[in-house]
Amino acid sequence: MAIQVLLVEDDLDMQQWVEQVLPRQDYQLQIVGDVAAARLYLAETVPDILLLDINLPDGNGLELLAEINQSATSPMPVLILSALDQEAVIVTALECGADDYVIKPCSVQILVARMDALLRRVKFATDSDEAARLLEYEGLRVDCDAVQVDYKGLRIKLTKSEFRVLAEFCRKPTVVFTRSQLAVVVHGEGAPSTTRSIDVMIATLRRKMGPLAEWIQTVRGIGYKLEKSD
């Protein structure tokens, strides 16, 4: 079955290039040119992967990314495809929940390889979760099927990236994770990441955890772990 791809891109030349380079037998490509059209499409259909530009005629692609990531209900990977090459923009995109960032113009090989890597990671995560659909630690429940987190009946709303990290913490409570290891959990092997983006995400996760914030402990010089405080 062909992989469903949604490209959100207003540049006609870039639209045509992506359409030409993706093998038709492997990918079924849908193209929209602005944020509004993307919202309408995503309300009805969840593609296997989303290719998203940042500068769009009716808004910023990162705003759409934040909306998608906030729901945390779909494993759909998001690859930012943008001409913006500033480090601050790339970090912001990853913090907003992008799974990878490719600077255009790029080669066919880079684009297809990055897409395939993201799709493999989603499949691996789905297969791995079969053995651990419901994770529990000291009353904290992480439901990998419903993509929900609860503590003593209270729902904790997390983004897709935050959910991934908390689920990993719950799989291995008290185990210390380095920032590099957490970056792999969030973005996959080989994806661009920074220690700053991980630290910012952990800070946000703690804030959302409320009274459980102190359970996510900093191990100086190494990283973070989940352990109930006395």
Beta bridge partners of 134: 143
Question: Secondary structure of the chain: what % helix, strand, coil (to 5)?
Answer: 45, 25, 30
Pairing relation of β-strands 49-52 and 27-32?
unpaired
Q: Are residues 18 and 80 in the same domain?
A: yes
Please say if the pLDDT value at position 31 is more than 60: yes
* pLDDT band per the 50, 70, 90 thresholds, residue 123: low
Q: Rounded to whole angstroms, how far apart are CA atoms 100 and 209?
A: 26
Please say if the pLDDT value at position 224 is more than 80: yes
What mean pLDDT comes out for the span 33-48?
88
Q: Are residues 10 and 107 in the same domain?
A: yes
Mapped onto helix, strand or coil, the DSSP state of residue 173 is coil
Q: Are residues 42 and 82 in the same domain?
A: yes
pLDDT of residue 161: 81
Range of the domain at 81: 3-128
| Number of domains making up the chain | 2
Q: Are residues 159 and 51 in the same domain?
A: no
Confidence (pTM)? 0.60
Please say if the pLDDT value at position 45 is more than 70: yes
Q: Please name the residues in contact with 141: beta carbons below 8 A apart, sequence gap of 6 or more.
A: 134, 135, 149, 150, 151
> Tens of pLDDT along 90-117?
888 877 778 788 888 888 888 888 888 7
Q: Rounded to whole angstroms, how far apart are CA atoms 142 and 100?
A: 25
What mean pLDDT comes out for the span 220-224?
86
What mean pLDDT comes out for the span 3-18?
91
Q: Are residues 112 and 138 in the same domain?
A: no
pLDDT of residue 70: 65
Q: Are residues 78 and 168 in the same domain?
A: no
Q: Are residues 92 and 138 in the same domain?
A: no
Decide which of 128, 161, 184 is a domain's last residue: 128
Q: Are residues 141 and 214 in the same domain?
A: yes
Q: Are residues 121 and 137 in the same domain?
A: no
Most confident of 7-11, 169-173, 174-178: 7-11
Q: Are residues 168 and 109 in the same domain?
A: no
Decide which of 61, 94, 128 is a domain's last residue: 128
Decide which of 106, 128, 150 is a domain's last residue: 128
Pairing relation of β-strands 177-178 and 49-52?
unpaired
* pLDDT band per the 50, 70, 90 thresholds, residue 26: confident
Q: Rounded to whole angstroms, how far apart are CA atoms 188 and 192?
A: 9
pLDDT of residue 9: 93
Average pLDDT, the chain: 83
> Tens of pLDDT along 194-207?
667 788 889 989 99
CATH of the domain at 86: 3.40.50.2300
Q: Rounded to whole angstroms, how far apart are CA atoms 172 and 152?
A: 20
Q: Are residues 12 and 119 in the same domain?
A: yes
* pLDDT band per the 50, 70, 90 thresholds, residue 87: confident
> Tens of pLDDT along 128-155?
544 457 888 888 998 887 788 999 888 9
